[in-house]
Amino acid sequence: MIQWSEDYRLGINNIDEQHKQLFELANESYKILKDEILFDKYDQIVAIINELKEYTTKHFSEEEEFLASIGYPKLLSHKVQHADFIKKIEDIDLNKIDENQEQALIDLLDFFSDWLLNHILKTDSEYIKYI
């Protein structure tokens, strides 16, 4: 499981709360992966992907508005990273998920952990000094 810690806190309440939601989705994915009773996990995986799509729409929009409001000089590159994230989600092949559900969950967890470690801890933390 991926645990929220104060290391991820940016000090911007609504953004921190939204980031916590991403941790919740990651942990929900982990629980589904470890559920040995549930044989067919396809619907749960698709539900997480759909929640992730909704999350990114709201979070990225609000974060980008905030960055524009503080005159963040790296806003364009930040938007590009967000667009890349959205594209990866949109490119998920639902047929491949159904073929190997366990691997799909592992890939999803890798995706979450990479984003949490590389984007929130590194990229997002860069804009704090502009507040």
The predicted-structure confidence for 43-88, as pLDDT tens digits, reads as follows 999 999 999 999 999 999 999 999 999 999 999 999 999 999 999 9
pLDDT band at 33 (very low <50, low <70, confident <90, very high): very high
52 assigned to some structural domain = yes
76 assigned to some structural domain = yes
71 assigned to some structural domain = yes
pLDDT band at 36 (very low <50, low <70, confident <90, very high): very high
**Full domain range(s) for residue 19:** 6-130
106 assigned to some structural domain = yes
1 assigned to some structural domain = no
DSSP string, 58-113: HHHHHHHHHHHHTT-TTHHHHHHHHHHHHHHHHT--HHHHHH-HHHHHHHHHHHHH
- State the pTM of this model: 0.89
Question: Is residue 1 pLDDT above 80, yes or no?
Answer: no
Spatial separation of the C-alpha atoms in residues 66 and 71, rounded to whole Å: 9
Find, among 96, 117, 116, 5, the residue nearest to 45 by Cα: 96
Q: Domains in the chain: how many in total?
A: 1
CATH for 61: 1.20.120.50
